[in-house]
Structure 1
Amino acid sequence: MTDLSQLVLGGAGYAGLFRAVDPFSAQATLDAAWTAGIRSFDTAPHYGAGSSEERLGRFLRGRSGFTVSTKVGRLLFDDPTAAEGAEGFYGTPKRSRRRDYSAAGTRMSVADSLARSGLDRFDTLLVHDPDDHMEQALAETVPELARLRSEGRCVRIGIGVNRVDVALRFVREAPIDVVLIAGRFTLLDRQAETELLPECARRGIRVLAAGVLNSGILADPDRLSTFDYRLAADEVIMRAQAMAKVCAKYEVPLRAAALQFPGRHPMIGGTVIGASSAAEVADTIAMLKVAVPEELWEELDRCL
């Protein structure tokens, strides 16, 4: 069973990732997470073109005892021509995104996020997906985040990415405190295990595991065949289905094993979960409470 205190609610699902989520459902999702004891939240301007930060800020107003991380690297601009479903988000405000990893853009991004959320500061600020902008992010974004940290505008700085090689470069070259790695430390994809986790351990960097269902395939591989936000390869689907069959032998849902897997590693400081409804939060909490026998973990390892 995963320690529920290590859970972080991610902000993409209730901001319309893959399908529109109305404001009432978004608030119900946040309320269900809070009632379950979740006090850590991860958001970003990218999520719902700002609606994730707005919805989270409204929910947290008047509350205390929580932590919030947001990200920099994308600035938002009002845009009446913005297409529905842009970058996978639906039912969002009419805003367009522009990549900006400059020092000025970084400070502007934080100021905009504070205004949207109504918070007075963020606990953690992460460089978001700088894959094609690494030189500028290392030269400008990270130093600016470090200045914000020194000014007391945040407690920790770090990086939020999908690629292990990108994370490793920032771990080795930047004064960061946190790595949020999405989809690379899961039952199906353990790329982070070989170099990234040991490197973070040596440097005392906290690691958060996100995307632990690999875009849905680990929830139900017979029904959902998306992996990394696209159609999964046949070999990936077959491995996920094999894992589901092994779990069925032990009467353990595959998603229970998938959600609990990251938290078994001593270097994982938190697991970021996604949800677009109160029912999804409840299901996730239930899955995290399922007892998973050690023999099942051993069999799942052999499915790789």
Structure 2
Amino acid sequence: MTEADGKRAAALDPRPLGRTGLMVTPVCIGGSPLGSMPQVFGYEVSADRGVATALRALRGPFNFLDTSANYSDGESERRIGAALAELGGVPEGFVLATKVDRDPATGDFSGAQVRRSLEGSLRRLGVDRVPLLYLHDPEHISFEEGMAPGGPVEELVRIREEGLADHIGVAGGPVGLMRRYLRTGAFEALITHNRWTLVDRSAGELIDEAVALGVGVVNGAPFGGGVLAKGVDACRTYGYRPMTDEVVARIRRMEQACAEAGVPLAAAALQFSLRDPRIASTIVGVSRPERVDEIARLATMPVPEELWAVLDPLAAPPDTWLH
């Protein structure tokens, strides 16, 4: 193995996830597309392909897989569960994470709903516990409702005390709300998404605060929903929202700079997150088995240091960020 090969292999070595004691690879495979969510991603994923993708994810080169009770009405978990059954259980050292969700029909996000959500997840995954369990998208209720006696956070803490989840986290969008949840001291991990990328830097202070609190940071959606992988000619939304002309122009300039450096825009977008020492792992959704190896290639591809100096000032103006 050459020195360069060794450095690229080391780039995928596990890192500590905050104070949890878990060691996770810098890439986490995201399970949302493998359950088939055409209303979000624009394409169908068959059950066979979803299970095959989960199998590839569970066999490496990454040791971290993220899903949720509400991804495709539990279908993501069902397909992961089928893959786990084929393997005979969760591989040694593998970190399987899922999330408790509100009831999609009624909006109920009570403590009782959190318990029902977890029980459904364990059943679909075919496991009796998970290493990591997140409160998912608490922006759908007020912070006061989230923290109320008998509410979702209290129940999530109880679930951890019972040993059904080794560690708990919070996963959501609005950075101000996520900071309020972190300050409760209840959470050991954070997922922020679409808010720390080449384009959008909304989550910078949130990530700083998480690190100061010893909370493990997981950064989701480094491609902003696709545009930082496919380019603006193929995708005209960021975070599933229409982009302004200013943002489109900046991403075009990023594409040009990457092309001149001989680096795919997707590699730069992924490594922007991977190279940040504050971030333990970065979630990349997959829907095909071969994408797992493609992500490993993008994660370890050499990127000239001078390219970062060109890309950094091309981030979109703060008034376009998701916050």
Q: How far apart are the structure 1 equivalents of 2:107 and 2:129?
A: 22
Query: Against the structure 1 CA distance between its residues 117 and 35, is the aligned structure 2 distance closer, same or farther, given a 3 Å change threshold?
Result: closer
Letter in 2 for 1:177: E
* 1:186 corresponds to: 197
Q: How far apart are the structure 2 equivalents of 1:236 and 1:267?
A: 26
Letter in 1 for 2:217: V
Check the 8 A contact 1:142/1:174 in 2, yes or no.
no
Q: State the Cα distance separating 1:227 from its structure 2 match.
A: 0.9
Q: How far apart are the structure 1 equivalents of 2:65 and 2:29?
A: 5
Q: How far apart are the structure 1 equivalents of 2:32 and 2:248?
A: 24
1:29 paired to 2:38: no
* 1:87 corresponds to: none
* 2:319 corresponds to: none
Check the 8 A contact 1:10/1:274 in 2, yes or no.
yes
Which 5+ residue runs of structure 2 have no aligned equivalent? Answer: 1-7, 14-24, 316-323
Q: State the Cα distance separating 1:145 from its structure 2 match.
A: 0.9
Q: State the Cα distance separating 1:280 from its structure 2 match.
A: 2.4
Within 5 Å, give how 1:134-283 maps onto structure 2: 134-139=143-148, 140-193=151-204, 195-221=205-231, 222-283=233-294
Q: How far apart are the structure 1 equivalents of 2:101 and 2:59?
A: 32
What SS class does the counterpart of residue 314 from structure 2 fall into?
coil
Deviations along 1:130-168, whole A, 9 cap, x unmatched? Answer: 113122112211111111111111111111112211211
1:295 paired to 2:316: no
Letter in 1 for 2:174: R
Letter in 2 for 1:112: G
Q: How far apart are the structure 2 equivalents of 1:216 and 1:208?
A: 18
1:12 paired to 2:12: no
Letter in 2 for 1:104: A
Match of 2:73 among 36, 49, 54: 49
Q: How far apart are the structure 2 equivalents of 1:145 and 1:152?
A: 11
Deviations along 1:257-295, whole A, 9 cap, x unmatched? Answer: 111111211110111111111232232222112101111
What SS class does the counterpart of residue 53 from structure 2 fall into?
helix
Deviations along 1:205-254, whole A, 9 cap, x unmatched? Answer: 00000011001110122221121113322222111111111111110000
Check the 8 A contact 1:45/1:70 in 2, yes or no.
yes
Q: How far apart are the structure 2 equivalents of 1:285 and 1:225?
A: 26
Q: State the Cα distance separating 1:99 from its structure 2 match.
A: 2.5
What SS class does the counterpart of residue 281 from structure 2 fall into?
strand
What SS class does the counterpart of residue 268 from structure 1 fall into?
coil
* Count of residue pairs the alignment pairs up: 283
Check the 8 A contact 1:216/1:225 in 2, yes or no.
no
TM-score by length of 1: 0.88
Range that drifts further, 275-284 or 124-133: 275-284
Letter in 2 for 1:120: D
Query: Against the structure 1 CA distance between its residues 186 and 69, is the aligned structure 2 distance closer, same or farther, given a 3 Å change threshold?
Result: same
TM-score by length of 2: 0.83
Q: How far apart are the structure 2 equivalents of 1:125 and 1:100?
A: 19
Q: How far apart are the structure 2 equivalents of 1:98 and 1:59?
A: 31
Q: How far apart are the structure 2 equivalents of 1:113 and 1:257?
A: 34
Q: How far apart are the structure 2 equivalents of 1:97 and 1:45?
A: 13
Range that drifts further, 207-216 or 58-67: 58-67
Check the 8 A contact 2:146/2:152 in 1, yes or no.
yes
Deviations along 1:50-104, whole A, 9 cap, x unmatched? Answer: 10011111111213222211111223xxxxxxxxxxxxxxxxxxxx644322111
Letter in 2 for 1:26: G
Q: State the Cα distance separating 1:7 from its structure 2 match.
A: 1.7
* 1:131 corresponds to: 139
Q: State the Cα distance separating 1:174 from its structure 2 match.
A: 4.2
Letter in 2 for 1:219: A
